């Protein structure tokens, strides 16, 4: 039990030192979960991985295309929408490749 407590304390310390990492992982998890709802399948770990990869892909595609969200959207919603779109794109490409 001490090992679990020690690991948990290290995780909490890292999150306190790097709150952006916690936000990034939370957005990735939510984006992956939404992609799982839209396309089916998933699980906690898969959703997190797909969402984090989708965050990079979504941000890159938006930067590449020069797309900007319409004004009036809350600041927290914009990265979530980009990450979700990227996560859906990642899942679709993975399924096409797997065929």
Token digits of residue 52: 């984090």
Whole-number Å distance between alpha carbons of 60 and 52: 13
Split into its structural domains, the chain has a count of: 1
Over residues 13-29, mean pLDDT: 83
84 pLDDT tier (thresholds 50, 70, 90): very high
Please give the full DSSP string across 33-90, using - where no structure is assigned.
HHHHHHH----HHHHHHHHHHHHHHHHHHHHHHT--PPTTS-TTHHHHHHHHHHHHHH
* CB contact set of 95 (below 8 Å; sequence gap of 6+): 39
Residue 88 predicted with pLDDT over 90:
yes
User: Considering the domain boundaries, does residue 7 fall inside one?
Assistant: no
pTM of the model: 0.76
User: Considering the domain boundaries, does residue 8 fall inside one?
Assistant: no
Phi, psi for residue 69 in degrees, rounded to 5 = -70, 150
Residue 14 predicted with pLDDT over 60:
yes
> 23: domain range?
19-98
User: Considering the domain boundaries, does residue 57 fall inside one?
Assistant: yes
Whole-number Å distance between alpha carbons of 93 and 67: 21
User: Considering the domain boundaries, does residue 3 fall inside one?
Assistant: no
Q: Please give the DSSP secondary-structure letter assigned to residue 22.
A: H
23 pLDDT tier (thresholds 50, 70, 90): confident
């Amino acid at each position: 039990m001490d090992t679990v407590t020690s690991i948990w304390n290290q995780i909490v310390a890292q999150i306190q030192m790097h709150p952006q990492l916690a936000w990034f992982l939370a957005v990735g998890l939510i984006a992956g979960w939404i992609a799982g709802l839209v396309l089916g399948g998933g699980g906690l770990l898969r959703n997190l991985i797909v969402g984090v990869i989708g965050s990079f892909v979504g941000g890159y595609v938006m930067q590449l295309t020069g797309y900007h969200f319409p004004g009036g959207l809350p600041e927290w919603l914009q990265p979530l929408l980009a990450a979700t779109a990227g996560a859906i794109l990642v899942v679709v490409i993975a399924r096409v490749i797997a065929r």
